[in-house]
Amino acid sequence: MWEYSEKVKDYFFNPKNAGVLEDASGVGEVGAIACGDALKLMIKVDPETDRITEARFQTFGCGSAIASSSALTEIIIGKTLDEALAITNQDIADFLGGLPPEKMHCSVMGYEALRSAIANYRGEVWEDDHEEGALLCKCFGVDEGMVERAIRNNVLTTMEQVAHFTKATGSCGTCVEGIEEVLERTNAAMVEAGELAASQAFVAGATPVVGRKAPRSSPVVAPAPPPAAKMTMLQRIKLIEAELEALRPALQSDGGDCELVDVEDNKVMVRLSGACVNCQLASVTVQGIQSRLAERLGTPVRVIPVPSTH
């Protein structure tokens, strides 16, 4: 599992300011339960001083999400709205003594919720509204604005870093090209503004070249599998194993895992482990695996979790 600081553990096991804040001045909600992480941040503001006097939260997610949300409320109480808006997700992580790279998206979620709550209090339209064309990663509800802010605030230069900070690209992978374009464009703007060395900037499919945009390499298209009716059982098993292997990084990033146990006709038996076991989202995980396998096999399948033999 992950290496957590003592402060992260404390704020997870003994969260501060958890629960509903009655008569909240502003409310910010980010994420979705279907995505695995969701946060509702409630703040109360003194209108005369513009200072946050109370803050509470409700979080659905892992220990890092709970700890980050709790830490955020502790940080912002007593600050003016402008002071609160100056807080970054790195400030949340630093307050907790650091977070594993794979869990930095939890601090980003807090940063986004704070912006949303303050916008709500001020009667402004929150930017994270998934307007047409803005939503990049449908699996985790990550839009273009969130990706750009995460890149700029944390000086991200690789796709792996973007995945750690936003969870984007961590599931089906269809958003990879869109995320690459945002990362490349944002890094180029950071170079122009003197915020990033040109040698560090991301360029999709090529080594960065100072002074001009490197050509994008041609995408590699995986060959379509033969129709399921023409597959041998061995071919079906190999394809299923390959798809599960492609899904494992996303599950492992949240402390879970999945392995193939057996295949019988259209039934695929899998064993969930780690955080996937008895998780409230286990059924969502199974449905996601089932949909992906059905798409690749070209035929309906039923994924059945089986208990561990240990």
Q: Do the beta carbons of residue 41 and residue 72 sit within 8 Å?
A: yes
The rounded radius of gyration (Å) of the Cα atoms in the chain is 22
Six token digits for residue 133: 């064309």
Q: Please indicate whether residue 137 is annotated as part of the active site.
A: no
Phi, psi of 104 (to 5 degrees): -65, -20
Q: Residue 58 and residue 17: Cα distance in Å, rounded?
A: 9
Six token digits for residue 27: 């409310």
Tell me which residue of 229, 244, 237 sits closest to 289, measured CA to CA. 244
Six token digits for residue 138: 């449908």
Annotated catalytic residue within 106, 139, 175, 276: 106
Tell me which residue of 148, 150, 135, 8 sits closest to 69, measured CA to CA. 8
Beta strands in the chain (DSSP E): 26-32, 37-46, 51-60, 135-137, 142-143, 256-264, 267-274, 302-305
Q: Residue 171 and residue 152: Cα distance in Å, rounded?
A: 23
Annotated catalytic residue within 35, 139, 175, 258: 35
Which helix (H) or strand (E) is 233 found in, with range? helix 233-253
Cβ contacts of residue 259 below 8 Å, gap of 6+? Answer: 244, 270, 271, 273
Q: Please indicate whether residue 35 is annotated as part of the active site.
A: yes
Q: Residue 109 and residue 41: Cα distance in Å, rounded?
A: 10
Six token digits for residue 182: 């945002």
Active-site residues: which are they?
35, 106
